[in-house]
Amino acid sequence: MQQRSFTRYVNPALLACVLALAAYGSVVVRSAVSGMDAGDALFRRHLLGLAIGLVPLAVAWLVDYRKLAGWVGPLIILDALLIISPRIPGLGDEAGGATAWLQIAGVRLFQPSEPAKLVTIVVMAAIISQYKGSIGRPKDVAKVLGVLAVPLGLILLQPDLGTGLVFVAITMGMLLVGGLKARWFLVFALAGSVLAGVVLKAGVLAEYQVNRLLVFVDPSLDPTGAGYNLEQSKIAIGSGELTGKGLGESTQGNLNFLPERHTDFIFAVLGEELGFAGAMGLLAVYLALLLTSLEIAASSRDLFGSLIVIGVMSMWIFQIFENMGMTMGLMPITGIPLPFMSFGSSFMVTNLAATGMLLSVWSRRSG
């Protein structure tokens, strides 16, 4: 009886996967920053992000997710406020070409678009669940896309293309499970292709963003910028071979050939130091995490809870494939970090809070 009571509220497999990823990520981040001037300080910040993230994890776990369904309006406003806060004069800080960080008195605090992802997941889950698994009428599709347009439009104004794509991936994953008719996905694909062409031609994106997309097709187009980053990343991963060079032995990283090695290109460090075996080990844990999340979604007592889990899963899946893919030249470079692995307090706290949301759904599956 005590065992059943424990597993009613706790999902051991989910916590084991998150703990394993957090520990694995900490080891690789420690190795990645070891050769940097402020390496010790960066690693302490990484551990601080992990510690802070336990608070929103616990809060999200304790909050009954079902009570959030009636707060769509305020949550949409909160979503918009989070995203536009860095654009307020004196509060925003630019990094990587995007004004996406919130700062007060010159101190960088966090990236508001990260928690905004979770707010968007809850909002989308509440709206899509209203259609009870069948979305086909144009006005219903327009309503869902209209809600997505709020955070997506504000994100693109920063401009932050990578984060914008995460919001799109979240929504598409939730619509797939939420019952959107198949023909609409074809319409979205065609519209997306046309829109991408228009955006590239209209000069909406910053030059560095355009270069990142073009380098995906031909790395020689930007040999000193995005093309250089990609080439160094591929060299690092390839040189790791089967078992890697060993922790702390990353030639590309330690000699400063590999850019952003503790954030965007953390997978390249892992590939060089721990090799194919280390990469497969990471993928195995990610697979276990996603399968456990799928089990939680299937066990939910309502569609709203299932969609929250699917939204988190969609966020993780897109970020995993995009980050790993961009380090190997299989996806465009977008600056998307790797869940639970990349350095970044805002990102880590958001992923831990997302874990709490999954636990909230799990612990209320039977009543």
Q: What pLDDT is stored for residue 224 in this prediction? A: 67
Phi-psi region of 158 (alpha: psi -120 to 50; beta: other; left: phi over 0): alpha
Q: What pLDDT is stored for residue 1 in this prediction? A: 45
Structure tokens at 321: 């494939």
Per-residue pLDDT of the chain in tens (367 residues, 90 and over written 9): 445 566 778 899 999 999 999 999 999 999 888 878 788 888 999 999 999 999 999 999 999 999 999 899 999 999 888 888 777 766 666 655 555 666 665 666 678 888 999 999 999 999 999 998 889 899 999 999 999 988 888 887 777 778 889 999 999 999 999 999 989 999 988 988 887 777 666 666 666 666 667 677 666 666 666 677 788 888 889 888 898 898 887 777 776 777 778 888 899 999 999 999 999 999 999 999 999 999 999 999 999 999 999 999 999 999 999 999 988 888 888 878 999 999 888 899 999 999 999 999 999 987 6
Which DSSP string do the residues of 309-362 spell out, in sequence order? HHHHHHHHHHHHHHHHHHHTTSS----PPPTTTSS-HHHHHHHHHHHHHHHHHH
Domain, as residue range, for 86: 2-363
Distance CA 28, CA 73 (A): 41
For residue 115, cis peptide bond before it (omega within 30 degrees of 0): no
How many domains is the chain built from?
Answer: 1
Contact between residue 330 and residue 147 where contact means Cβ atoms under 8 Å apart = no
Residue in 331, 330, 351, 332 with CA at minimum distance from that of residue 340: 351
Structure tokens at 209: 């963003």
pLDDT tens per residue across span 76-102:
999 888 888 777 766 666 655 555 666
Structure tokens at 114: 């990260």
What size, in residues, is the chain? 367
pLDDT tens per residue across span 242-254:
988 988 877 777 7
